[in-house]
Structure 1
Amino acid sequence: MDISIFTDKTAEPTQKDLQEQLASIYPLWEQIAESVRKKYPKPKEEWNYPGKNYGWSFRLKDKKRAVIYLLPRQGYFKVAFVFGQKATDQIMACDIDASIKEDLAGAKKYAEGRGLSIEVHNAKPINDIEKLIDIKIAN
Structure 2
Amino acid sequence: MALSAFDDKSKKPTEEDLKVTLGSTYAHWTDLQKQIALTYSASPEWGFASKKSGWGLRMRAEKGKRVVLYMTPCQGYFLASFALGEKAVEAAHKSDLPASVLEIIDSAQKYVEGRAVRLEVRSAADVSSVVKIAGAKMAN
| Same fold? TM cut 0.5 | yes
Cα drift, residue 2 of structure 1: 5.9
1:53 corresponds in structure 2 to: 52
Q: CA RMSD in A?
A: 1.5
The superposition leaves residues 4-56 of structure 1 with CA deviations (integer Å, 9 ceiling, x where unpaired) of 11111001111221112212210100010111011112x23211111111110
2:129 corresponds in structure 1 to: 128
> Would the aligned equivalents of 2:28 and 2:122 in 1 still touch at CA under 8 Å?
no
2:100 corresponds in structure 1 to: 99
TM-score computed with the length of structure 1 as normaliser: 0.91
> Would the aligned equivalents of 1:39 and 1:134 in 2 still touch at CA under 8 Å?
no
Specify the code of the residue in structure 2 equivalent to 1:6.
Answer: F
Determine what percentage of the aligned residue pairs are the same residue: 36
2:13 corresponds in structure 1 to: 13
1:27 corresponds in structure 2 to: 27
Structure 1 stretches of 5 or more lacking a match? none
> Would the aligned equivalents of 1:4 and 1:55 in 2 still touch at CA under 8 Å?
yes
> Would the aligned equivalents of 1:19 and 1:26 in 2 still touch at CA under 8 Å?
yes
Specify the code of the residue in structure 1 equivalent to 2:57.
Answer: F
> Would the aligned equivalents of 1:92 and 1:101 in 2 still touch at CA under 8 Å?
yes
Specify the code of the residue in structure 1 equivalent to 2:36.
Answer: V
2:84 corresponds in structure 1 to: 83
The superposition leaves residues 46-101 of structure 1 with CA deviations (integer Å, 9 ceiling, x where unpaired) of 11111111110111112333101111011111111111111111111221011111
Specify the code of the residue in structure 2 equivalent to 1:5.
Answer: A
1:69 corresponds in structure 2 to: 70
TM-score computed with the length of structure 2 as normaliser: 0.90
